[in-house]
Amino acid sequence: MITAPLYVLLILYAIFLLGFAFFSLFAVYHLIKFGFRTLGNFLMIFIFLGMCVIVLFVSWQYINQIDWLQNVVLFEYGNATQYF
């Protein structure tokens, strides 16, 4: 039986979040620097950042409910005749 701890998925999610944060900061920087300084531009930046905060908050709420130390069975080998 081959198992892996569940927190491996949490590490992958954290790597994804770091990449998302990098590209989001890059995009917001360019919107502020090269975008028009209008109410619409600042409103879009505020909506984008607000939605990011909401998604991260909901994600945090669901992540806290999981026991990340459990193991997940990736592959179970054994007697092949038990499946027939």
Query: Residue ranges of the domains in the chain?
Result: 2-71
- For range 59-73, the mean pLDDT: 93
Buried b (16+ CB within 10 A) or exposed e, 45-78: eeeeeeeeeeeeeeeeeeeeeeeeeeeeeeeeee
Question: pLDDT tier at 52 (50, 70, 90 boundaries)?
Answer: very high
What distance in Å separates the CA atoms of residue 68 and residue 4, rounded to the nearest whole number? 11
The 10s digit of each residue's pLDDT in 19-49 is: 999 999 999 899 888 888 888 888 999 999 9
